[in-house]
Amino acid sequence: MNEVQRSKIILKILNRIYPKTPIPLKHRNKFTLLISVLLSAQTTDANVNNVTKNIYPKYNKPDHFVKLGRQRIENLIKSIGIFRVKAKSVYLLSKKLIEKYGGKVPKTFEELEELPGVGHKTASVVMSQGFGYPAFPVDTHIHRLAQRWGLTNGKNVIQTEKDLKRLFPKRNWNKLHLQIIYYGREYCKARDCYGLTCKICTTCYPNRKKPIKTNKA
């Protein structure tokens, strides 16, 4: 079975299990989506949602966070990992959105990636989930699963993104990246399946006997 055949099987299984893919990060607008994605680095979506449920009803625009200032932002998000770094990014990002974009979230990868604390993956999520633009955000989970499923050599996340975009039709990208995340959390966990027990792994590799080692992102 080659990678093209595997990709078709994977798409079929994921569409059957996850016909709908709600956005896991709770948000009120494109700005709060951007903030939530930024906050989600090195922590769980559930942790971010737990923190932002008390923030977004009151603070949900760039000028709100500029008025708060870095110290108060830190206090609001201190239960999240690397909160000082993130608070600085949230403050500077909010300031730049006001100064350069009239408080609006820009609609291009280039402009998003120029914002403080925003890398390619964060920009991809916002373009995909915020603006509906075809993108394939690759986080550590997708990077790991793509290797287990024989869709990439796992050299780095940039290569993984290229490989996934090559193998799957563009119309599927936005939904598929969420389907893969949901499936990984439920069935193909890092310290559970090891490429040996879930439906996708056993279908694509019925003769696999040894746990699969994956390269970190």
Residue in the structure block whose two tokens are 């964060």: 122
**Which of 30, 53, 100, 139 is labelled catalytic?**
139
Place of tokens 């390619």: 120
**Is 213 one of the catalytic residues?**
no
Calpha distance 191→209 (Å, rounded) = 16
Catalytic residue status for 139: yes
Answer for the pair 164, 152: CB distance below 8 angstroms, yes or no. Answer: yes
Residue where the block lists tokens 């990246």: 177
- From the candidates 26, 121, 192, 213, give the one annotated as an active-site residue: 121
Do 147 and 184 form a contact (C-beta atoms < 8 A)? no
Q: Cα(70)–Cα(90) distance, rounded to whole angstroms?
A: 8
Q: Which of 73, 71, 37 is nearest to 55 (CA)?
A: 73
**Closest of 112, 83, 86 to residue 97, by C-alpha:** 112
Cα separation of 98 and 138, whole Å? 29
Catalytic machinery residues: 121, 139
